[in-house]
Amino acid sequence: MGILLNDKIILITNCSTPLGKAIAQRLGFSGANLFVSDSNEQKLRKATHDLKELGLKVTGAVVDVAISDQRKQLFDEVEKKYGGLDVLVVNNPVNNIKGEISSNTKMEFDEIYSKYLTTPFKLCRDAVPLLSKSGKGGSVILMTSFAAYSPFEEIGLYSACATGLLGLTKAASLDLAKKNIRVNSVALGMMLNDSTGAFWSNEKDEARIQQLSTLIPLGRVPKSSECTALIEFLASSRSRYVTGENCVVNGGVSVRV
């Protein structure tokens, strides 16, 4: 893949998910120095081992990014290891809260918004001191779902929260542009292992996957790893004039003009 991200320092959160691993692998093969985090020590150890087995430059830290002290520790460790930070990729944990929105509890509401909106906001904010010192210009990439545009009943709360993240992307990009930091989001369509918890994410019924494929103009339900080329682009200097964009990767399913 060449040297598109040659020696860029990239932090990826929740790296033990299938999507997190795919992102790390793509960016690592593109020359990045990776720092990955996860709250599960065993899963993090396996993820970093697998990445190192591929010959990639990677360091990991067990961190719950929802906790203030642990976020500070994370950025301190990144600075200690690499001396700075160029790119933050906020990859989400897997959503386990489903059901009709009228049936969700306040506890579920608080959990969803903490994981998928409040924590991404705090990560962006806390990364600013390091990203603003990047000589290459900082970049934040927020992962989300096209359910932000077209909500799904079974993940109604997640859909509503994802819509908020689109607004966060726009608002943060205006503010952080003054510090030479770009902020963009990547909204995934119906993809396997996309962390949404939606019916298509972990679908193993080949007949149902085939049925879903008929709803997608490109005619297939891809693995979430197929979004990683876009993430690589947004992390690179080739996208240095791209900020405030909510980029949809969904095989042609129409969700906006």
Question: Around Cβ 133, how many Cβ atoms within 10 Å?
Answer: 15
Q: Rounded distance, CA 105 to CA 201, Å? A: 23
Q: One-letter amino acid identity for 75?
A: F
Q: Would you say the C-alpha torsion 242, 246, 250, 251 has a positive or negative sign?
A: negative
Q: What are residue 224's phi and psi, to 5 degrees?
A: -65, -20
**Residues 6+ positions from 6 with CB-CB distance below 8 Å:** 30, 31
- Residue 167 per-residue DSSP state: H
Q: Name the β-bridge partners of 143.
A: 186
Of 35, 37, 29, the C-alpha closest to 86 is: 35
- Block residue for tokens 């510090």: 179
Q: Rounded distance, CA 207 to CA 80, Å? A: 50
Provide the 3-class DSSP secondary structure of residue 6. coil
Catalytic residue among 82, 116, 158, 241: 158
- Sheet strands side by side (includes 87-90): 58-62, 33-38, 9-12, 87-90, 138-145, 181-188, 246-249
Q: Is 241 a catalytic residue?
A: no
Catalytic residue numbers read 158
